[in-house]
């Protein structure tokens, strides 16, 4: 066999992501507000693009065609209609749809340290975002918990020294020396502060903050204690070593980590400004007289992009050379592609939203108790799209209906087996039932998680106690101990 260089011709197929295709995929994941920013940048870069108005609109894809479609599935025939104006009704933000990221990643905090007796704290402007500041919230509880006036006095002084995250950044002995009290009295007062709501305030370290929350949730067993005492190993990713130290199997260790991440490492921040930002919906849904639904994109946050063809003709006539004409033709092609890409984005969003409304029709008519288990694949198969496309469409987008404003991801929920074992119900429906039971409980007979398990079983939900506890914590409801304390304080007020 001869060895030497030679030329071979081969045919092969490969999928190439062109820049246009990559940008079209990116557009799907953007919200209407982000699209508005994107269009502004595109107009600055392309002289042929401008925002459409009634005076200078040119023939582009029909607006009704962009925002309307018809579903032939009973009982919601002709599901999508013209829609209503964005300002028909004020936004109704449902706080249960807003999730808070509690995982700090590196388990580090940077709280502001204030001097004893300095009188410096958060300014009025800094606190204007919340109804009550953390200090005000804690001061209101001290009197009902402290055993005597002296302990209450010290507890109030400690509250004044907490940073915005709820931590005590100063050594307790320094607080005791400044107040002229015994260290034991300061310790007793700190215990009072640490018993207040929100759980975890008054902690002097992250480990103490998490331990307080674990005790409150009745999860502070020896295994959890070892996990919290070795957060440095968790931060370094030495999970195998940590699991051996805790003496648990893989499943229990995963549950412990999930519980730990569910705790709030900065409990005081819920009273800091910036937590009440309004969510602007991308999709508007209203009921129709014939029993269907009007579904429309929120035009208030979705500007219309058009191509100024008369300006293109004017520029082309003034182009003296081939290079200039080539550049202008490239800008026209880019503008045409962008208008088509935005057109396709609107069609895709409305198609996905229509299928979600069709699948979750019971929710929009009767509430969360009728929310069905739903997956991205179910929607993707129904509308003949790829699952990844549906995932991008439902990212960072909100839907407004008569029941409030919800993230599109909210409608994709896991299923929970019913007690008959023959059907499944949405996890959100279970959470709604837990909330309903807790809100209706007698303040003198607070329901434990075991009692909730029995009551939910009567409703047809077969759940373990651990699952009930996770769902309860996921919707922001405290343990029976926390609720008993909160309702007792409410009764005093």
Distance of alpha carbon 448 from alpha carbon 451, whole angstroms: 5
pLDDT value for 127: 36
The percentage of the chain sitting over the pLDDT mark of 70, rounded to a whole number, equals 77
Note the pLDDT tens digit of each residue in 306-324: 888 888 888 888 877 888 8
Note the pLDDT tens digit of each residue in 193-211: 888 888 889 899 999 999 9
State the average pLDDT over residues 27-46. Answer: 85
Token couple for 215: 């005790």
112 confidence band (pLDDT: 50, 70, 90) = very low
Distance of alpha carbon 412 from alpha carbon 389, whole angstroms: 15
Residue 309: φ, ψ to 5°: -70, -30
State the average pLDDT over residues 397-426. Answer: 73
Judged by DSSP in three states, 238 sits in coil
Start-to-end C-alpha separation, the chain: 97
More confident residue, 119 or 315: 315
Q: What angle do CA 242, 234, 468 make, to 5 degrees?
A: 85
397 confidence band (pLDDT: 50, 70, 90) = confident
Whether 255 and 238 have beta carbons less than 8 Å apart is answered as: no
Q: Where in the chain is the domain with CATH 1.10.10.60?
A: 414-492
Torsion of CA 428, 431, 435, 438, to 10 degrees: 170
352 confidence band (pLDDT: 50, 70, 90) = very high
Distance of alpha carbon 239 from alpha carbon 233, whole angstroms: 7
pLDDT value for 253: 85
Judged by DSSP in three states, 445 sits in strand
More confident residue, 274 or 94: 274
pLDDT value for 155: 87
Residue 417: φ, ψ to 5°: -65, 140
The residue behind tokens 């509430």 is: 367
- pTM, two decimals, is 0.47
For domain 414-492, the question of CATH label 1.10.10.60 is answered with yes
Whether 386 and 23 have beta carbons less than 8 Å apart is answered as: no
């Amino acid at each position: 066999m001869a060895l030497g260089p030679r030329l071979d011709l081969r045919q092969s197929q490969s999928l190439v992501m062109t820049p246009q295709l990559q940008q079209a995929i990116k557009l799907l994941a953007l919200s209407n507000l982000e699209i508005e920013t994107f269009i502004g940048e595109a107009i600055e870069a392309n002289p042929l693009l401008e925002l459409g108005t009634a005076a200078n609109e040119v023939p582009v894809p029909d607006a009704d065609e962009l925002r309307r479609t018809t579903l032939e599935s009973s009982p919601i025939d002709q599901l999508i209609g013209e829609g209503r104006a964005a300002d028909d009704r004020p936004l109704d933000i449902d706080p249960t749809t807003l999730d808070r990221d509690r995982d700090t990643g590196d388990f580090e905090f940077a709280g502001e340290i204030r001097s004893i007796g300095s009188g410096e704290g958060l300014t009025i402007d800094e606190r204007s975002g919340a109804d009550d500041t953390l200090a005000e919230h804690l001061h209101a509880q001290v009197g009902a918990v402290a055993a005597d006036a002296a302990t209450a006095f010290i507890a109030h002084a400690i509250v004044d020294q907490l940073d915005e995250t709820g931590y005590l950044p100063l050594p307790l002995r320094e607080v005791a020396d400044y107040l002229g009290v015994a260290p034991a009295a300061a310790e007793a007062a700190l215990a009072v502060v640490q018993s207040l709501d929100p759980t975890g305030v008054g902690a002097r370290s992250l480990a103490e903050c998490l331990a307080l929350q674990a005790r409150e949730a009745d999860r502070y067993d020896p295994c959890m204690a070892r996990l919290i005492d070795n957060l440095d190993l968790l931060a370094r990713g030495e999970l195998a070593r940590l699991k051996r130290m805790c003496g648990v199997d893989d499943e229990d260790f995963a549950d412990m980590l999930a519980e730990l991440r569910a705790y709030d490492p900065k409990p005081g921040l819920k009273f800091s400004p910036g937590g009440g930002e309004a969510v602007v919906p991308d999709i508007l849904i209203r009921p129709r007289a014939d029993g269907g639904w009007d579904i429309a994109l929120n035009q208030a946050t979705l500007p219309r992009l058009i191509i100024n063809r008369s300006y293109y003709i004017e520029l082309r006539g003034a182009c003296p050379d081939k290079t200039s004409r080539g550049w202008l033709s490239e800008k026209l092609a880019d503008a045409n592609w962008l208008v088509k890409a935005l057109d396709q984005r609107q069609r895709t969003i409305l198609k996905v939203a229509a299928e979600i409304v069709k699948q979750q029709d019971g929710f929009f008519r009767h509430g969360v108790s009728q929310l069905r288990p739903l997956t991205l694949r179910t929607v993707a198969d129904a509308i003949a799209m790829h699952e990844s496309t549906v995932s991008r469409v439902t990212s960072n987008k909100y839907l407004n209906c008569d029941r409030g404003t919800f993230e599109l991801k909210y409608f994709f929920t896991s299923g929970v087996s019913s007690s008959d074992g023959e059907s499944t119900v949405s996890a959100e429906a279970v959470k709604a039932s837990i909330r309903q039971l807790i809100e209706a409980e007698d303040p003198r007979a607070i329901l434990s998680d075991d009692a909730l398990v029995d009551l939910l079983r009567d409703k047809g939900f077969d759940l373990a106690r651990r699952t009930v506890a996770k769902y309860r914590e996921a919707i922001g409801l405290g343990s029976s101990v926390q609720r008993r304390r909160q309702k007792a304080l409410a009764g005093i007020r």
